Structure 1
């Protein structure tokens, strides 16, 4: 596959609201996971250069289904529901929606998970708990730090140091990309990173 794949037609394919009701396809899947309102839908839209393919909202928790988008009959992009974090990190995995958890554990088509965080938050304890869970179930992860345009140079430098520390800690993360969906920064790199890691 080549990165120009993301310039080809992408269309809504299927929605899932019940465990085990996923579409029967042979296409590899790239899934997008993150806290509510980190910009998962915006990242998908930016990747395929479409403004309204995936509905975006300022209201956390707007995505309540698993939505599949077929890209050029070659790849499936899977928008997982945004999840809120419990007040205490130890409850994070238990509170992760059953629909999401079942998909992550049992979906054979899943080839790569794009784990999205908000640059203004950095990697918090609750993120680390979820990353431990992903590591334990053997999922291949690309870390995406979204909304990088919201930080100044000093904040970016501090964030880079923090992220590097976490990459050393979570060695199963294959790569990390800073992006800004509004500015287009890092989107080309993320496309290349996805394709090279499939």
Structure 2
């Protein structure tokens, strides 16, 4: 069992020369603008305002770094796929995400967040293909589990697996509201990165 005891904001960046130096292993979170990325980060770290939650999707335009237990970094990447922004902004966000993924030797895993209620989007498919191409370990977490009926969970998992081309990989379902599956998600994401407690 892995327990997160301390978490703190480190810095925000838009390009690689602004990334923090520290050599900590990193876990990056990526997903659509309205998938609840900031909410799940706050929920996993048990901090209400660690990551800023916006009422307007697509507001996070920075790469945000958080230090976890003085042992590793949690990295919040800009959300993608928000319809109400210009093509030039979409391209800029894509470049920010790509620059991070291509230039962080300390990156150990990427957590791809998808909405449990909906079929993953074309952007989600492109993202997982990109991560596979560069042999980056991916963990898929389906958010908003509390919005699903119990008998729809298996159906949702099958749709996510088929759309993203998953075979052996796990799909973890999580609710930031009820914290259902909290320990399971923390253990999977931080396995091999944070120490286990007895």
- Tell whether the structures are fold-level matches, with TM greater than 0.5: yes
- How many residue pairs are counted as aligned between the two chains? 188
From 112, 116, 129, the counterpart of 1:115: 112
Q: Does 1:3 align with 2:12?
A: no
Give unmatched runs, 5+ long, in structure 2: 84-89, 194-198
Deviations 1:42-74 (A, max 9, x none): 111111111111111221112111111101110
Shift of 1:135: 0.7
- 1:188 aligned to 2:183? yes
Gap regions ≥5 residues in structure 1 = 87-92
Determine the structure 2 residue equivalent to 1:89: none
Q: What are the residue-to-residue correspondences of 1:10-21 with 2, within 5 Å?
A: 10-21=7-18
Q: Aligned runs of 1:20-35 on 2, under 5 Å?
A: 20-35=17-32
Residues 197 and 124 of structure 1: is their aligned pair in 2 closer, same or farther, counting only changes over 3 Å? farther
**Contact persistence 2:15–2:99 (CA under 8 A):** no
Match of 1:170 among 163, 166, 173: 166
2:87 aligned residue: none
- SS where residue 20 of structure 1 aligns? helix
> How far did residue 166 of structure 1 move?
4.9
TM-score when normalising by structure 2: 0.85
Partner of 2:81: 84
Aligned-partner Cα distance in 1 for 2:92–2:10? 28
Q: Normalised by the size of structure 1, how large is the TM-score?
A: 0.85
Aligned equivalent of 1:159 = 156
Aligned-residue RMSD, C-alpha:
2.2
Seen in structure 2, the aligned counterparts of structure 1 residues 28 and 63 have a Cα distance that, compared at 3 Å, is: same
Local SS of the residue matching 1:50? coil
What's the offset of the Cα at 1:123? 2.1
Q: 1:132 corresponds to which residue?
A: 129
Contact 1:11 1:70 survives alignment (8 Å): yes
Q: Residue 120 of structure 1 contacts residue 150 of structure 1 at CA under 8 Å; is this kept in 2?
A: yes
Structure 2 Cα separation of the partners of residues 174 and 94 of structure 1: 29
Distance across 2 between alignment mates of 1:114 and 1:36: 14
Q: Distance in 2 between matches of 1:84 and 1:166?
A: 17
Are the aligned partners of 1:37 and 1:58 in contact in 2 as well (CA < 8 Å)? no
Is residue 2:56 matched to residue 1:59? yes
Question: Which aligned segments of 4 or more residues in structure 1 are displaced greater than 4 angstroms?
Answer: 93-96
2:145 equivalent among 141, 145, 148: 148
